[in-house]
Structure 1
Amino acid sequence: MKILAAYAPLLVIGSLSACADDARQGASSAIEKKEKQSMFRKINEYISVSPQITLEDVTAAKAEGVTLIVNNRPDGEDPAAPQSADIEAAAKAAGIEYLAIPITHSGFSAPQVDAMITALEGAKGKTLAYCRSGTRSTLLWSLAQAKKGVDGDEIARLAGNAGYDITPIRAMVDALSAGAQ
């Protein structure tokens, strides 16, 4: 009995250590789950943006109610990433509409902004737009909203809530918004 009593503190410490390990694993799983969930950054109830998606992410998008995927990344920008045809095939297999409006690093054009407006107005539910980091998708969405007359401060607020800064195009957003009113 005295031997067992001598080891009792070690058993308690070992049990506490196991609990701490379980808690760390639980916290780690929760963080991984949150990181996976946060890949799609919600701008508003109609659109989310994302860095490059995988074929598996198409299934996750479907589960979140996405009915349209807009690809703002040109093919070949990263040959290792799924290309437009790959994502389009996965989207169609999942019953999701797909549209490519590739934006290169040379900037945005009026036809691209108009295509985004048309896509968003024709969407039958939630839209997911993606590019390398989500920035070009956010900026294109911002320009489309501005052209429809949405206030630049509201656009900046929504983009900022999703973690994106529209400062590089803020003058264009304000000009388009003012021109639409």
Structure 2
Amino acid sequence: MDIRKIDDTISVTPQISYGDVAEAARLGFKTLVANRPDQEEFGQPSMADIEAAARENGMTWVYMPVQSGNVTDADVDRFGEMIRNSEKPVLAFCRTGTRCTILWSLNAVRTTPAQEVFSKASNAGYDMSGLAPRMAQQAANRE
């Protein structure tokens, strides 16, 4: 498992397996979020299996699938609400972790300076510079 910490509230990781869930719980994650649609790719672990593992390990499960390359403002709103209301720390996963980081970035820039958001994403290994125009739009909607 390639866990990349963004900040104290959230880390992201590429696709996890059923067996990775116990390790995530052992590491202290309280909420597990799937931003990847079930059966997006052949051979991908079943979300039902990962959900069962999350519950078996005392984690809150959130299934919030987002289509790759099509993150909507509604997706960002839902992600932000989830972050605000979930027990932390949160571990979010998708195919590579990028989708989760995009969701986090577009939501975070509503309350945090863009340069800080870019820096946190970069420190986690994700380049969000291509999102600059959209982040500026989101920042205009500061909460």
TM score, norm. by length of structure 2: 0.93
Corresponding residue number in structure 1 for 2:8: 45
* Unpaired stretches in structure 1, ≥5 consecutive residues: 1-35
How far does the alpha carbon of each residue in 1:116-162 deviate from its partner, in whole angstroms, 9 at most, with x for none?
Answer: 11111112220001001000010011111123x21111100000000
CA shift, 1:179, in A, is 2.8
SS at 1:121's partner residue? helix
Q: Give matches, 1:11-50, under 5 Å.
A: 39-50=2-13
How many residues get paired?
143
The residue that corresponds to 2:125 in the other structure is: 163
Residue pair 1:151, 1:174 contacting (<8 A) in 2 also: no
Query: What percentage of residue pairs aligned between the two structures are identical?
Result: 36
Query: Partners in 2 of 1:45 and 1:161 — Cα distance?
Result: 13
- On the 8 A contact 1:73/1:104 being kept in 2, the answer is yes
Supply the RMSD in Å over aligned alpha carbons: 1.3
Specify the alignment match of 1:124 in structure 2. Answer: 87
Distance 2:69 2:94 in 1: 14
- Structure 1 CA distance for aligned equivalents of residues 107 and 49 of structure 2: 26
* Structure 2 unaligned regions, length at least 5: none
Distance of 2:48 and 2:131 partners within structure 1: 30
The structure whose RCO (Cα within 8 Å, separation 6+) is larger is: 2
The SS at the match of 1:129 is: strand
The structure with the largest helix share of the pair is: 1
Q: Computing the radius of gyration over CA atoms, which structure comes out larger, 1 or 2?
A: 1
Q: Which amino acid aligns with 2:127?
A: D
User: In structure 1, what is the Cα distance between the partners aligned to 2:74 and 2:141?
Assistant: 17
1:61 aligns with 2:24: yes
Match of 1:14 in 2: none
Aligned to 2:137: 175
| 1:88 to 2:48 alignment | no
Deviations 1:35-56 (A, max 9, x none): x5xx110001111000000111
> Counterpart of 1:171 in structure 2: which amino acid?
P
Alignment of 1:77 onto 2:30: no
